[in-house]
Chain A
Amino acid sequence: MGFRIGSDWGQPIAVVERLYAGYPKPDDGIADFTVRLEAGRPWRRFVRPSVAIRGDFILPDAAPVTLAHGLLAAEMGMNLQMALGYRRHLLLHAASVERGGRAILMTGLSGAGKSTLAMLLGEVGWRLLGDEFALLDLESGLLHPFPRAISLKNEAIALARATNRLGPLLENTPRGNIRHLCPNRDAVARMDEPAKPVLILFPRFGHVEAVRPVGSAEVFMRLTQASTNYVALGRQGFDALTRLVTTVSAKAIDYANTAGGLALVERLSSEAQ
């Protein structure tokens, strides 16, 4: 899957190219999605540059951000293009990691800690499949990797150890401070290698450690809400999602700190069938 990103300014393009330097170009040289970063008004380029998100789908209410946050706009643009235009897989707003062919899907509200957990797991022997979107194959039921840059927010930024793979610090964005981490070489090199989901987690950071089994009906409800294209896929989406929730066990996990969260994921992973 390829993205083409165009901008009225050179700076956001240079930052995106640097962050994604190790990524392959599309085999056929044709991008699947186009993201355009344009001046909100012709004169804004000269007065106080802002970046509006445009692309194959026009979103009238996409919030303009300042040029200093051009990378954030490019990332948001790529996410929106995926969310709105993708039909090949069931798209879930979830992070996912894999080890030994077994994948864990982690979903939850923004701030629940799924990106941070996925990032940390990706640095300790797990392969990061994706931080923002999980792509569930409609036929095989496998998760396909989509290892885009991980968006680390606020306190999570300090947890990143691989500083050579970090993008620039974007301060005071609408979501606070953000810094993107490029996934490691293994995640990028194996981005064509799908994995079988064996566990679904609903993590919640900042609470006393607890594990609660989640029944298939609740998982189904939560994942329809976490999907950006479930309705558009119709029967295919229903079949893929019901198969996932009836064959893969799910747990809601609370954890107080990242070390505890990592240990909990390791334990539940080893217990998962």
Chain B
Amino acid sequence: MAGRVYTADPSQERTAVPLESLVAVYHARSGMTHLLAPPASEILEALGQGPGDADAILARLEAQYEMTGSGFREAISARLEELEASGLVQAK
């Protein structure tokens, strides 16, 4: 069963600057600055390919990163909820 589908604003709405292991993101629409820890910034980047649910995001990340271990889907779902609360992504 498909989960909630998330959408991010177009990439031109954001400016991201890596600061060591974190990424500072300026969100033009809200005027807010966020400091994101992995994998939140990677999830945001993956949403640049288009809307998707947690499974779709996991598939996009697996295609790009070497991911060994378990619990990724749960972690991605939790980070998506946090990104939604921050206003950086919207859920349908």
Q: Could you tell me which A residues sit within 8 Å of B by CB distance? A: 215-217, 220-221, 224, 230-231, 234-235, 238-239, 242, 245-246
Contact = CB atoms under 8 A, between A and B. Distances in A.
Interface of B: 15, 17, 19-22, 24, 26, 28, 31, 33, 35
18 contacts: A215-B20, A216-B19, A216-B20, A217-B22, A217-B24, A220-B35, A221-B35, A224-B33, A230-B33, A234-B28, A234-B31, A235-B15, A235-B26, A238-B17, A238-B33, A242-B17, A246-B17, A246-B19
Contact of A245 (B19, B21, B26, B28): B19
> Per DSSP, are chain B's interface residues mostly helix, strand or loop, or mixed?
strand
A230 B26 CA distance: 12
Contacts of B31: 231, 234
A99 to B, nearest CB: 28
A221 B24 CA distance: 10
A38 to B, nearest CB: 34
Given A216-B20, A231-B31, 5 more contacts: A220-B35, A230-B33, A234-B26, A238-B17, A242-B24
A248 to B, nearest CB: 13
A235 B19 contact: no
